[in-house]
Amino acid sequence: MKIWVDADACPVAIKEILFRAAERTGIELILVANQALRKPALPNIKMLQVSTGFDVADNEIVKRVKPQDLVITADIPLAAEVLARQAQALNPRGELYVPDSIKSKLSTRDFMDTLRGSGIQTGGPSALSSGDRRAFAGQLDKILTRHTRKA
């Protein structure tokens, strides 16, 4: 198992949780972004810098992800592609994307995108709360515990 992070938009607090988990477990963590990011100097934490452009980081993650890998992303289309490749996708707010609900999430996202495209102000997501951080850490811990039991 590897953990791939859609790192350009990933909150710093979530990256810090991931760094601690990678240090504790030794699992390979790869930050994928179109700019260099700071990371701990540990051999299992890597940075993959991609060129700038629309969905370049997402496409690189999809190209490299393997079944049972975990992808950290708030990007619903990326999560859908990850699930189609038999990998797991986790939102920075602690929501594990699942095949049963990903289509409805894509539909809602597309609808909201259409509204924004027509000039309607829909607002953005709320700031990441301490509850969101706890939910993420808890869900990540469950995933990592399942993985270590299988291994």
Domains assigned to the chain? 2-150 (3.40.50)
pLDDT value of position 112: 59
Check residue 73 and give its pLDDT: 97
Residue 53 or residue 124, greater confidence: 53
- Given this model, what pLDDT does residue 67 score? 96
- Are residues 76 and 9 in contact, defined by beta-carbon separation less than 8 angstroms? no
Residue 144 and residue 146: Cα distance in Å, rounded?
5
Indicate the helix (H) or strand (E) that contains 6.
strand 2-6
**141: phi then psi, degrees, rounded to nearest 5:** -60, -40
In this prediction, residue 25 has a pLDDT band, given cuts at 50, 70 and 90, of: very high
Say whether pLDDT at 124 is over 60.
yes
Please say if the pLDDT value at position 81 is more than 80: yes
CA distances, 82 to each of 1, 26, 55, 56, 145 (Å): 14, 23, 14, 15, 21
Report the alpha-carbon distance of residue 25 to residue 4 in Å, rounded.
Answer: 15
What pLDDT band is residue 99 in, cutting at 50, 70 and 90?
confident
At 100, is the pLDDT very low, low, confident or very high (cuts 50, 70, 90)?
confident
> What is the predicted pLDDT for the residue at 103?
75
CA dihedral 86, 33, 138, 68 (to 10 degrees): 20
